[in-house]
Amino acid sequence: MVSLVPSLTESVAATAPGLLVGATDWCSHPADLDVTRVRGTKSPDVPAVIGLRPDLVLANAEENREQDLDALRAAGLAVWVTYPRTVPEALTSLERMLAACGLTRPDWLAEAAEVWEPPFAGHRRTALVPIWRRPWMAVGSGTFTGDVLARLGVDNVLADHPERYPKVDLAELPPYELVVLPDEPYAFSPTDGPECFDVPSVCVSGRLLTWYGPSLVQARTELAAALG
């Protein structure tokens, strides 16, 4: 099996170590993953993936390009594509994907479902969630990231934007109370990003905010602590 999505790589590796034979250069979890690397999510080495002759290739509609997936299918490979936009969709998608891999529901997935079941109770805030600068881009409508934050009491100020990841002019945005800065895809940090805003900024782990997999077990607690 080859995974072209970091969170799916972690999901399979945590459930059935040794099942993967290939993964992208961006697949950083688990840290000791020893498989053939097939470049990036947006530019995979398609011939290398084909050469590994996997029974299944794991992909995501948002992270991977359709032309690469079509090339893999044309070579006779089975491709499983995920596209969750909410936490419940992610949990269901992971269970279906792992079942397609011949695996039973792992304990970490059951724990993640339990962790995310209680609704948020408390004061809600609005936030801008940049994902890139030069040009500025932010999380828009219908995203997994937006749903994660909403379940933590933080409502994306661009949740009704017609685009999922729009380019934005910081001077023309509606009011918001907080800026959430993940460290991926752009590596925002305390010294790169917060200085551009007049409201409080919080730097968070992109893995906890955007990945769906074993990270969901600790994401709710750690993100809530970071967001304050």
pLDDT digits (tens, 9 = 90+) for 46-80: 999 999 999 999 999 999 999 999 999 999 999 99
pLDDT of residue 156: 98
| CB half-sphere exposure, 177, CA atoms < 13 A | 9
* DSSP 8-state symbol, 46: H
Contact in structure between 52 and 2 (CB atoms under 8 Å): yes
Domain spans, the chain:
2-83, 125-227
pLDDT of residue 88: 98
47 CB burial (10 A radius; 0-12, 13-18, 19+): exposed
Residues 6+ apart with CB under 8 A from 105: 95, 98, 99
**Domain 2-83 carries which CATH code?**
3.40.50.1980
Q: Tell me the mean pLDDT in the region 157-168.
A: 97
Whole-number percent of the chain with pLDDT over 90: 100
User: pLDDT category, 219, cuts 50, 70, 90?
Assistant: very high
Domain 2-83 and domain 125-227, same fold? Reply is yes
Q: Determine the topology of domain 125-227 in CATH.
A: Rossmann fold (3.40.50)
User: pLDDT category, 20, cuts 50, 70, 90?
Assistant: very high
Nearest to 139 by CA among 114, 111, 116, 158: 158
Nearest to 44 by CA among 76, 28, 17, 66: 66
